Structure 1
Amino acid sequence: MSNNKTSFSLTEDWTVVVFGFLIIALTLFGIKIPSPVFAWENSAELLEKVVNADNLLNVGKLFLWVYAIAILATNALGKDVSATIKGFPIVFILTTLALILAGNSFLKNWNLEAVIFSLTIGLIISNFSSIPDWLRDSLSTELFVKIGLVLLGTSIIFGDILKAGSLGLIQALLVVVSVWYFAFWVSKKLGIDEEMAIMISSAVSICGVSAAIATAGAIKGDSKKLSYVISIVLITAIPMIIFMPIIAKALGLSEAVTGAWLGGTIDTTGAVIASGSLIGEEALKISTIVKFSQNVLLGLAAFGISIYWTYTNNQSEVAKESKPTLGIIWERFPKFVIGFVAASLLFSFVISGEVISEVKGGLKSLQGLWFALAFTSIGLETKFADLFSSEGKKPLYAFLIAQGFNVFVTLGIAYFLFK
């Protein structure tokens, strides 16, 4: 995720807010969002409902919608749009294939959602073939998932945020503090350098990729170490998406407890959404709100880490350049959370119920599409082999041990607060 600023560019989080609300505004002003049919039960229905000319035309219209947004957002970030122009259609085609697979009634009965197929397709391609640079450069995982999250705000009423958010914030404080210190302790015991240990601790305890990036910025961390931590976060999220909902059902946990557990444990926001959606609407809402409660702490955590790194033994000239101020809290704060809350406020208190009923289907369809696009991108940029180099085993072990601790501690806290 790039935060480089020019006079003609926005940060990624502000770009997400702008284009998320552009989509919402166009929808509210009567621009109809195409909603292709992907549901089918057998080959006859597949041919009749999904791959017929009218439905494929709707798929094409939907592609033009999101293609335009992707290009404009890339341009707003001050990036070269040529990679997006060439690469995004490939990502969309792969994602459409995932949506068609997920539309099968048999697979739906097994709670296999589109994001899982998106991940699988991307992983197969990236790990068994070579991804060209122009396609890799077009992948904008964080951009895609955060646009989807802003749109998700339109389906969550503000009362739910106030009700569950207070509990979510309590859980976030307890989990972040306990898991961060445990992860840091384990990392040091395994002989991992302090810079890597801090990145791992923040990633596993707060909010995954965003926390790792913010922490690396706070301590002027090595970009190679940051890339490694992000790879661990993304890969470990995959089995958690699939198996944690299964475990929750086997344990007989309520949707609220399950959502709080998922939101507090899984390290990437998109993965939380994917996993929560496998359980149900309430679990999806609670998991999202709990994860946002952790996101809110990101700015404060980066601020605290900046203070620690600057005023301990890490007195390099580079570190001194980033002496913390109150402005760092705002700088590190994930701005897409503002978009999510604003969308929720808008649809909770301003937009009439009649209008909401007219637009919610199209917005939900787009929300799911952006999430699926994000997970296709994650699959395409993830290599399993990177985790098994001789120099990478200790950080991997530290992360997995800390994540195991996180799973059990968060389950206990979630059960106590949300039962």
Structure 2
Amino acid sequence: MNQISASPVRSPLLKTEDWWAVWLGGLVFLLGLGPLVGTDLLGWAVKTNVWLSASKALVPQSEAYAFLPGWVSLVLTYLFFLVTTTIGASAMGWNIKKFMGGFTVIFALTYGCWFIGSYAHIAATKNALANLNISWSLGLTQEIGFVIAMVVGLLIGNFWLGLAKYLEEAARPEWFIKTGIVILGSALGIKALGSMNLASTVIVRGLCAIVEAYLIYWPVVYFISRKWFKLTPEWSAPLASGISICGVSAAIATGGAIRSRPQVPIILSSVIVVFVAVELLLLPWLAEMLLYKQPLVAGAWMGLAVKSDGGAVASGAITDALITAKAAATMGVKWEPGWMLTTATVTKVFIDIFIGVWAFILAIIWSVYRIDKKDSKEKGDKVSAGEIWERFPKFVIGYAATFFILLLIGLLAPHAIKDATTGANQANGLRGIFFMLTFFSIGLVTNVRKLWAEGMGKIVLVYAVCLFGFILWVGLFISWIFYHGIMPPVVGG
């Protein structure tokens, strides 16, 4: 029997993480629309409160499910994630047994990190101390659970290699974060209904900011790589895209566009992930210190500076929580939460949209000018419109769809906004779990030992010089230009 003909042929719509981010995020979004038809379809999902007593930490999202014990809500949430992600993993041809086992361990460890990070003396902000009847807290907010998850992932990925190998089938940070971003589109739609002027300002300015960043970042990084560090074009172009645009996705797209060897974008992606971990540990707290009076500047900075989808959006979430809490404690201003996260996400999504365009431009340049003389016949191949579509990040379609659907519902049926908000908030709760899984997975796949064994010293040095030498600060300057003086809505204001 012919084994090849017996293998199932999967549709392009079912074989990539990008498309499955759309399907899975879209499912959560559709379930979140339940309140619009008088049905609560997501209220059973678990929510973790800032806690002093562990028995009161876990509760269902909705009061309609208050009869459920917290641990039952957690189990139901785990089963929902396991079943839906396993369906996607099966469609993409992954090892289902390994995926289910690995995902179970990852979910347990990740939620354990979130649970620890929600302990009151760790997470409670100053303005919440009185309600909790405690006198002190580190004030790190619940988002410190993201960082704990990443650190645990790093430890496993670098010191418990057998366990890391077992978990790798289920450690899919790009899939998790893209799914979360699709769901996040509905949150932006709700915010747009509440503050149309501010939402449109964020979108328009975000587009302008990333175009300006492109024009500055990429050529400077490429020049430094070629002239100062003598890297070949094959390394310099994907490196410039990875550092200046969108991390892993841009490095891989650029490598494909210029027909580099497969190992080039893979090695660069590993370096990018390491630096994303460093940025996640540093930038949100630096933004809290420097920019707590300019919150949307801080959000845009996260979107421009952190070079992965997961890292940028997660850093936006941490920055949002830190600055919102600090503003309330030091200035007595209670900003509506989520606008810094939204600004970071919009900036990052616009960057993602341009990956395909940029890859197309580079492919043409490499073809016309034959920049790599070796294998010039292959380098001269033109990139078709179909290839551009393949490189386009499909999850952006899902993000845009959830945004516009919620926006249209609110505009066409203003009486439904309250129910739509309830459902979007419930879906957003599941989005937070996808973010948690992303942090742990980023840590897990970051094998620092392997990077150094492959002789990545020069690449790391180029990345460090460019990132800390000018990209962070140019990004901050551009963010300041476009978002200085723009404030989120004040709660009750």
Q: TM > 0.5 between the two? A: yes
Tell me the secondary structure at the aligned position of residue 382 of structure 1.
Answer: coil
Aligned partners of 2:376 and 2:229: how far apart in 1?
A: 28
Q: Is 2:10 aligned against 1:6?
A: yes
Q: Summarize the Cα distance change of 1:12–1:171 in structure 2 as closer, same or farther, 3 Å threshold.
A: same
Q: Summarize the Cα distance change of 1:318–1:76 in structure 2 as closer, same or farther, 3 Å threshold.
A: farther
Aligned to 1:90: 105
Deviates more, 1:286-295 or 1:75-84: 75-84
Give the partner amino acid of 1:187.
Answer: S
Give the partner amino acid of 2:283.
Answer: M
Deviates more, 1:217-226 or 1:360-369: 217-226
Q: How many residues align?
A: 414
Aligned partners of 2:421 and 2:379: how far apart in 1?
A: 53
8 Å CA contact 1:257, 1:414 repeated in 2: yes
> Which of 19, 39, 42 is the matching residue for 2:49?
39
Aligned to 2:458: 394
Q: Is 2:204 aligned against 1:166?
A: yes
Query: How far apart are residue 65 of structure 1 and its match?
Result: 0.6
Equivalent residues in 2 for 1:169-248 (5 A)? 169-188=207-226, 189-248=228-287
Aligned partners of 1:379 and 1:145: how far apart in 2?
A: 14
Aligned to 2:26: 21
Query: How far apart are residue 226 of structure 1 and its match?
Result: 1.9
Q: Is 2:175 aligned against 1:143?
A: yes
Aligned partners of 2:57 and 2:247: how far apart in 1?
A: 39
Aligned to 2:365: 308
TM-score by length of 1: 0.92
Q: Summarize the Cα distance change of 1:332–1:220 in structure 2 as closer, same or farther, 3 Å threshold.
A: same
> Structure 2 unaligned runs (5+)?
1-8, 61-67, 124-138, 321-337, 411-415, 485-493
TM-score by length of 2: 0.79
Tell me the secondary structure at the aligned position of residue 15 of structure 2.
Answer: coil
8 Å CA contact 2:47, 2:429 repeated in 1: no
Q: Summarize the Cα distance change of 1:256–1:7 in structure 2 as closer, same or farther, 3 Å threshold.
A: closer
Q: Summarize the Cα distance change of 1:318–1:343 in structure 2 as closer, same or farther, 3 Å threshold.
A: farther
Give the partner amino acid of 2:471.
Answer: N
Equivalent residues in 2 for 1:262-411 (5 A)? 262-280=302-320, 281-311=338-368, 312-314=370-372, 316=375, 319-320=378-379, 322-350=381-409, 352-389=416-453, 391-404=455-468, 405-411=470-476
TM-superposition CA deviations, 1:131-172 (whole Å, max 9, x none)? 353421222111111111101111002545542222112111
Tell me the secondary structure at the aligned position of residue 234 of structure 1.
Answer: helix
> Structure 1 unaligned runs (5+)?
none
Deviates more, 1:6-15 or 1:60-69: 6-15
Aligned partners of 2:481 and 2:286: how far apart in 1?
A: 18
Query: How far apart are residue 190 of structure 1 and its match?
Result: 0.6
Query: How far apart are residue 50 of structure 1 and its match?
Result: 4.1
RMSD: 2.4
Aligned partners of 1:395 and 1:88: how far apart in 2?
A: 32
Give the partner amino acid of 1:98.
Answer: C
Whichever of the two has the greater Rg, that structure is: 2
Aligned partners of 2:317 and 2:239: how far apart in 1?
A: 27
Tell me the secondary structure at the aligned position of residue 231 of structure 1.
Answer: helix
Q: Summarize the Cα distance change of 1:322–1:355 in structure 2 as closer, same or farther, 3 Å threshold.
A: farther
Aligned partners of 1:394 and 1:249: how far apart in 2?
A: 32
Aligned to 2:134: none
The structure carrying a bigger helix percent of its residues is: 1
Q: Summarize the Cα distance change of 1:336–1:34 in structure 2 as closer, same or farther, 3 Å threshold.
A: same
Aligned partners of 1:98 and 1:343: how far apart in 2?
A: 29
Query: How far apart are residue 318 of structure 1 and its match?
Result: 7.4
Q: Is 2:174 aligned against 1:110?
A: no
Query: How far apart are residue 71 of structure 1 and its match?
Result: 0.5
Tell me the secondary structure at the aligned position of residue 220 of structure 1.
Answer: coil
Q: Is 2:161 aligned against 1:123?
A: no
Give the partner amino acid of 1:144.
Answer: F
Query: How far apart are residue 66 of structure 1 and its match?
Result: 0.6
Q: Summarize the Cα distance change of 1:349–1:390 in structure 2 as closer, same or farther, 3 Å threshold.
A: closer
Aligned partners of 1:396 and 1:195: how far apart in 2?
A: 16
Tell me the secondary structure at the aligned position of residue 198 of structure 1.
Answer: helix
Aligned partners of 1:369 and 1:310: how far apart in 2?
A: 43
8 Å CA contact 1:14, 1:336 repeated in 2: yes
Tell me the secondary structure at the aligned position of residue 391 of structure 1.
Answer: coil
Q: Summarize the Cα distance change of 1:40–1:318 in structure 2 as closer, same or farther, 3 Å threshold.
A: farther
Query: How far apart are residue 395 of structure 1 and its match?
Result: 0.7
Aligned partners of 2:299 and 2:286: how far apart in 1?
A: 13
Q: What is the identity percentage for the equivalent residue pairs of Structure 1 and Structure 2?
A: 25
Deviates more, 1:22-31 or 1:204-213: 22-31
Aligned partners of 2:224 and 2:461: how far apart in 1?
A: 9
Aligned partners of 1:131 and 1:161: how far apart in 2?
A: 47
Q: Summarize the Cα distance change of 1:374–1:319 in structure 2 as closer, same or farther, 3 Å threshold.
A: farther
8 Å CA contact 2:233, 2:371 repeated in 1: no
Give the partner amino acid of 1:97.
Answer: G
Deviates more, 1:174-183 or 1:157-166: 157-166
8 Å CA contact 2:296, 2:339 repeated in 1: yes
TM-superposition CA deviations, 1:55-109 (whole Å, max 9, x none)? 1111100001111111111123233323212211011011111110121122222
8 Å CA contact 1:309, 1:319 repeated in 2: no
